[in-house]
Structure formats: structure tokens, C-alpha cells
Structure 1
Amino acid sequence: MAAHRKPKQPPLSGQAGRTAATLALAGAATATVFEGSGHAEPQLTAAQVKAKVDRLHHEAEIATEKYNGAKEKADQARVRLDALRDEAARRTERLNSARDSLGAAAAAQYRSGGLSPALRMALSADPERYLRGAALAEAAGARQAAAVASLRGQLVDLDRLRQEAADRTRDLKARQDELNRHKATVRQRLDAAEKLLARLTAAERAAYEAGPHAHGGDAGRPGAEPRTDRSGRAALSPAAGPSPTAGTGPVRAPRTPAPTARSAKAVAFAYGAIGKPYQWGATGPSSYDCSGLTQAAWRAAGVALPRTTYSQINAGQRVARSQLSPGDLVFFYSGLSHVGIYIGDGKMIHAPRTGSTVRIASIDEMPWAGAARVG
């Protein structure tokens, strides 16, 4: 039987061949265009870059406050664990001393225990003296029995302490794991923000760093106002940033006097910190994050604030925005992720974000969340 084969098609030639070749090349070019556009990195405008960077910085600040809370709890767990270990060591030392004493008494009894009490009395040259000694021996035996009971109690207490220390060790490990997770989140957000900022020109980046935006603010000088362009919008200008020596010399007194001596000290401390760099997780004296600054300022006034924004708002009496006075803590965003110190005239001093410095800003720049009066 003959094999059935598909007839071989002759190659295209002439006009038909040229048309087919043209269509094939066009199809390949189209496929290349679509394939390339599917993987190309989108081009962002400077405004889009700045918006994304602001969002990343805000997410980093949320993670920073969670990091601060986890660090505070880890530090507390470490202190408790160290105290338990010290107490266990002291009790172990007392237990060993008690064991040594009982061991010596038991050895003495063994050495003198060869004769029965009746025979010892019969052989004694002074039976009355022996009876007095036997009474003393009985009393000593009772004390030893009490010592044994105490020893058993110490063993139980020591075992309890060691179990509690083991629990604290596991708690500390969990806190440290949580700490590392939040630290990784902060660094991830900041790294992503830095990569986005690298897309900007030097002038655009300088304008972003200095100008008012989500976590920016006025110039870091008391009483400074943002410059405006012809349209009336705040101008993004490097000149709006803080001077290199801001915070290192005398500063102008706030326009609104603080209501108490303590709040005046807290505000004065905040003014003195103007120009110092923001550093996430920092509590001073050379750098701060937002809650680190407020904590340090009120510590200088003799008031101990907790470490995080979401705990600081509960450290004092809540006050309405219309009733603010210098020294009050002002909080922003629904998650209470940012805090500053109110100084009057609708202004605050705060540590904005990574890449910025402690500065004066309007309280209208961020979504309002609440305020607290602590002293």
C-alpha cells in the first residue's frame, strides 16, 4: 500500500511571499512591544513618587511605634527575668548552706549513735546531767526536723522560681521575635522609599525633603512660615528647611505662654531639639523619633511618659482641639501613629520622619486624631 503523505507546499514567492513576510515581521514587532510593556517599570511623575514615599514613610512610622512598644515589653521582660535569676541564685545559696548544716548534724549523730539512750544513762557517772543533755538533744532534734521541713519548702520555692524564669525566657524570646519583625518592616519601607526618591532629580529631592508634605512641616525655625508661589500654594524650596545649626543655639520664646511650669519646660526642651535628626527608635539626646521626642521633653519636665504614641495618649487628660495649650501632646492618624508637642498658634514641634529633622509644623498638615494634657 502506498504511503499517504501531505503534498509538500511550494515556497511563497512574488507578491504573496512579500506580503506574508511583511505580516510576520509586523506580528513579531507587535508581540515584542506588548511583551516589553508588560514588564517595563512604570514611569512615575515627581508628584506620584512623593505620594508613594509619603505613604511608605507613614507605614514605616506605624511599624516604628510597634517596634517601640515591642522593645519596651522586651526590656521589661528582660528585667523581670534578671530579677528572677538573681533571686534563684540567692535562694540556691541559702539552700546549699542549709544542706551543709544538716549534713554536719547528721554526721555528728551518726558518730555518737552507737549506744542506746538507756544504756548511756546507766553507764553515766552523773545520770541527772545525762537527762538534762538528753532533753537538749531532743530539742536539737526538733530544730533539725524544722530545718528539714524548711529545706523542703526552699526546694519547692526554688523549683517554682526556675519554672517562672523558664516562662520569662520564652516570653522574652517572643518579644524579641516581634521586635525583629517590626524592625524588618521599618527597614523594608524605608529602603523602598529610598529607591523611589532616587528617581527624583537632585532639585526635586531637595524640594521634597524641605517642603511641607504629609510628614514635613514648616522650616525648623521658631515662627517660620512656608513660602508660597504665585498660585498661593506652598513652595517646595530647599530654603524652607532648617538651618544647619538649628537647635544648637538660643531660640525665640513661643508666642503663647505655657500654662504651667512643667509644660513650659517640656516646650523649651522641644525648642532646643529643633534641627536634630529623626531616627526611628531613638529617644535622644542626639536624635529622636516622634514619641521619643515627646517622652524626652516631658522627662525634662519631671513627668514620665510611656514610650509609644498609642500609650502616651492615655497618659493624661484628653483635651479638645479647641482647648489646646502649649505642652499638650497632639496625635495624628487613626492609628495614633504620630505625635508632636503643641506650642500655640496652631503649631507643634515634632520629629517628622526619616531624612528630616525636628521642626515646627502646622497641626493641620496631618489627619487629626486627638490630644492629651499630661502636666
Structure 2
Amino acid sequence: MGTVEPRRRRRSSGSASALTLLCAAALLAVTALTGTAQAAPLPEPGATSLEQVRKDIEDLYRQAGTATDAYNLAESEAKAQSDKIVEIAKQVVAGQDRITSLKNRAGAAARAQYRSNGLPPQARLALSGSPSQFLDGADRIRQGEKATTDLLSEMNRTQTALQQYAKDANAEWQKLEANRVKKEASKKEIEAKIKAAEELESKLQAEEKARLLQLEQDAQYQAQTAWLSTGVLKEINSSASEAGKKAVQFATAQIGKPYVWGAVGPSSYDCSGLTSQAWKAAGRGIPRTSQEQLRLLPKVAIKDMRPGDLIIYFDDASHVGMYVGDGAMVHAPRPGRNVTLAGAGSMPIKAIVRPDA
């Protein structure tokens, strides 16, 4: 599963056949759930069709996915800001210690002058009876004056730095608070969208739920078939990198674990939580969210796609999966679903990005 075999004589029909078998198995599972192969009665005239219910639920989960990306981004930024505040606090402590040291040095110089009856060094040298002592002392005066000037300059620089640290800390606190507000708003939106989707699904009878799952699988199968019919697999023949193989191994090992928004494992994942943790396991840190993965990772053409690459879906980049080869990808679909394999073209592809370009 880790590589795409570069067999140009093998047409997309081979992969399509394999996916057809997967879909057939899924249909058999649906039949087993319903206890019959017959379709449920059509809705009453004017009632919302099951297909429309499917689209409504899918749209709600898409909106929840977008809000989840916003939440995850705010969470990542908040962590970075917290780390920055801690670093600033360390710099403030170091600066305060430096000021104390400089003040002690300045105090020592003042005490030394007091012990010499308050006469400045120039006056004491003028009273010296030895020209050589005077010249030696003059050099020491210059050194002393430079040391005093350097001391005052360093105190001024340190005090200026402390003032800047205070401004930086205040700015980071404001960003932290803004992200807290953003996270709370995104959390409420996520929960509202998921609740609305679950309420729609809860109104369905068991047989209708089975048909809903079948409609969902049919829509994905049709999209995948259309994607394969373009002959795209004839061009995709790149092998996975060593890091890509590790990422694929990690991601596929999570199959069966539930989707939970905001989760990064080890018992559950959201879509970008799965991909970011898979690449972390492969030794590569990548952005936490699908939108940031799209923005910051290098893009590659679909024909150059290889196992381990990330597939960003939908115009708003609200979903991501990992290509595993032979026209398939692994992903955490949505609430109520588990990490699973699916056709790489089963959703609208926006871009392909490569973590280890």
C-alpha cells in the first residue's frame, strides 16, 4: 500500500475494479443492516428527500470542519503565544538581574570616590609630585571614564530592552486573549453544526439510516469513478520516500479509530490531526490544520503525487487526507465516522502538498 506501481500497461480499470469490490462489500453490509435489498418507501410529496437530507448533513459537517480548522489554528497560535510570553518573562528576569549587577558596579565606583575624600581623579593626579605617576594615572583616568561611560550605556540599553519586553508581553497577552475568544466562537459553531447534523440523522428510521449510508457511499464511488475515468492513474507512478512510507504506515495503523474534532490521537483524530501526527511520527513537523498545510507546504501536481503526500479537499481547504497509492487515501472523515480508506478522488481535490519536498 505504501507505493504506486509504475505499470503503464495497467489501466485505471484495475484500480476501479478494486474499488468496485470495496463498494460492493459496503452495499452487502448495508443490505445486511436493513435485512432486505428493497429500497425504503419514497417520501411523501413535499417532504424532504433522503438525498437532500444527506446533502444537508454533509454540508453541516463541512461547516463544522471549517470551524474545526479555525479552532485548531487558534489553539496552535495560542500555544505559540504562551511560549513567547514565557520566553519574554525569562528575558525580563535576566534583564532585571543585569540592572542589579550594573547598579552594584556603579555603587562600588561611588564608594571608592567617597573614600578618596570626594576629590575627582584629575585633582588627585594634579597633586602628584611625579610626572610618570601623573601620566600613568592619566591613562587610568581615560580607562575609568570609558568604563563609566560603558556602564551607563549598558544600563540604558538594558532598561530600554526591559521596556520593550513589557510592550511585547502586553501585545502577546492581547493576541492570546483574541485567540481565546476565537477558539470559544469556533467551539460553539462546531458543536452547533454537529448537533444539527445529529438531530437530522436521529429523525431517520434504522432503514433510512442504512440508505443514507448507502447514498453517501454511492456519491463517493461516483466521484471516484469520474476521477479515475480521466486516466489520471496512468500518470501517477512515483514511489514513496522513506519518510513518506513511515507516515503512511502510521496513518493506516489508525484505521478504525473514531473522528473527534480537535483530536490528535492516540485514540482519536480529526482529519488534520491524523496527517500532522503521521508526519510527526515520520520525523517531520508540519502545520496542524489543513488550511495551514495548504498554505505552507510545497505543492505538487497530481501526476507527481506519491504515497505520503497530502490531498487537500474542497475550495475552503477544510479537509485533508493522505495518499497511500493505487488511487486511494486514508483520512478521518467526520464526526460519527472512523479513520478509513477511501478513493483519492471521492471528494473535490483542491491541491496536493508534500511535507518532505
Looking at structure 2, the residues matched to 215 and 138 of structure 1 have their Cα atoms a distance apart, in angstroms, of 89
Question: Which residue does 1:315 correspond to in 2?
Answer: 297
Question: Which residue does 2:178 correspond to in 1?
Answer: 174
Question: Which residue does 2:252 correspond to in 1?
Answer: 271
Shift of 1:74: 2.0
Question: Which residue does 2:81 correspond to in 1?
Answer: 77
Q: Give per-residue Cα distances to partners, 1:35-88, cap 9 Å, x unaligned.
A: xxxxxxx97555444332221111000111122222222222222222122111
Greater shift, 196-205 or 168-177, is seen at: 196-205
Return the match for 1:55 from 59, 65, 71.
Answer: 59
Looking at structure 2, the residues matched to 267 and 153 of structure 1 have their Cα atoms a distance apart, in angstroms, of 52
Relative contact order: is structure 1 or structure 2 higher (C-alpha 8 Å, sep ≥ 6)?
A: 2
Asked if the contact 1:213/1:365 (under 8 Å) is kept, the reply is no
Q: Give per-residue Cα distances to partners, 1:310-348, cap 9 Å, x unaligned.
A: 22234133222x554322212211111111112223221
Equivalent residues in 2 for 1:72-111, closer than 5 Å = 72-111=76-115
Structure 2 counterpart SS, 1:370: strand
Structure 2 counterpart SS, 1:193: helix
Q: Give per-residue Cα distances to partners, 1:272-317, cap 9 Å, x unaligned.
A: 0101111111122221111111111122222222112122234133
Looking at structure 2, the residues matched to 272 and 182 of structure 1 have their Cα atoms a distance apart, in angstroms, of 30
Question: Which residue does 2:216 correspond to in 1?
Answer: 213
Q: Structure 1 211/356 Cα, relative in aligned 2: closer, same or farther at 3 Å?
A: farther
- Specify the code of the residue in structure 2 equivalent to 1:112: S
Question: Which residue does 1:326 correspond to in 2?
Answer: 307
Looking at structure 1, the residues matched to 136 and 80 of structure 2 have their Cα atoms a distance apart, in angstroms, of 56
Equivalent residues in 2 for 1:140-219, closer than 5 Å = 140-205=144-209, 208=212, 211=214, 213=216
- Specify the code of the residue in structure 2 equivalent to 1:350: H
Shift of 1:153: 2.0
RMSD over equivalenced CA pairs, Å: 3.3
Question: Which residue does 2:321 correspond to in 1?
Answer: 340
Equivalent residues in 2 for 1:351-362, closer than 5 Å = 351-362=332-343
Contiguous gaps of at least 5 residues in structure 1: 1-41, 219-255
Asked if the contact 1:66/1:182 (under 8 Å) is kept, the reply is yes
Q: Structure 1 56/347 Cα, relative in aligned 2: closer, same or farther at 3 Å?
A: same
Structure 1 counterpart SS, 2:177: helix
Structure 2 counterpart SS, 1:213: helix
Looking at structure 1, the residues matched to 328 and 200 of structure 2 have their Cα atoms a distance apart, in angstroms, of 30
Looking at structure 2, the residues matched to 347 and 293 of structure 1 have their Cα atoms a distance apart, in angstroms, of 16
2:263 aligned with 1:282: yes
Question: Which residue does 1:11 correspond to in 2?
Answer: none
Asked if the contact 1:216/1:352 (under 8 Å) is kept, the reply is no
Q: Structure 1 215/63 Cα, relative in aligned 2: closer, same or farther at 3 Å?
A: farther
Q: Structure 1 272/117 Cα, relative in aligned 2: closer, same or farther at 3 Å?
A: closer
Q: Structure 1 214/165 Cα, relative in aligned 2: closer, same or farther at 3 Å?
A: farther
Looking at structure 2, the residues matched to 204 and 100 of structure 1 have their Cα atoms a distance apart, in angstroms, of 81
Q: Give per-residue Cα distances to partners, 1:169-224, cap 9 Å, x unaligned.
A: 2122222222222122111111222222221234544665x656289979xxxxxx
Q: Structure 1 67/368 Cα, relative in aligned 2: closer, same or farther at 3 Å?
A: same
Greater shift, 57-66 or 135-144, is seen at: 135-144
Shift of 1:261: 2.1
Q: Give per-residue Cα distances to partners, 1:88-147, cap 9 Å, x unaligned.
A: 1111111112112212332342343256879978999x8789858965567445423431
The structure that has the greater radius of gyration is 1
Equivalent residues in 2 for 1:41-52, closer than 5 Å = 44=48, 46-52=50-56
Equivalent residues in 2 for 1:220-299, closer than 5 Å = 258-299=239-280
Q: Structure 1 103/43 Cα, relative in aligned 2: closer, same or farther at 3 Å?
A: farther
- Specify the code of the residue in structure 2 equivalent to 1:346: G
Of all paired residues, the percent bearing the same amino acid is 33
Looking at structure 2, the residues matched to 114 and 365 of structure 1 have their Cα atoms a distance apart, in angstroms, of 88
Structure 1 counterpart SS, 2:216: coil
Q: Structure 1 131/167 Cα, relative in aligned 2: closer, same or farther at 3 Å?
A: same
Q: Structure 1 71/122 Cα, relative in aligned 2: closer, same or farther at 3 Å?
A: closer
Q: Structure 1 150/369 Cα, relative in aligned 2: closer, same or farther at 3 Å?
A: closer
- Higher-helix-fraction structure: 2
Looking at structure 1, the residues matched to 182 and 218 of structure 2 have their Cα atoms a distance apart, in angstroms, of 26
TM-score, length basis structure 1: 0.68
- Specify the code of the residue in structure 2 equivalent to 1:51: K
TM-score, length basis structure 2: 0.71
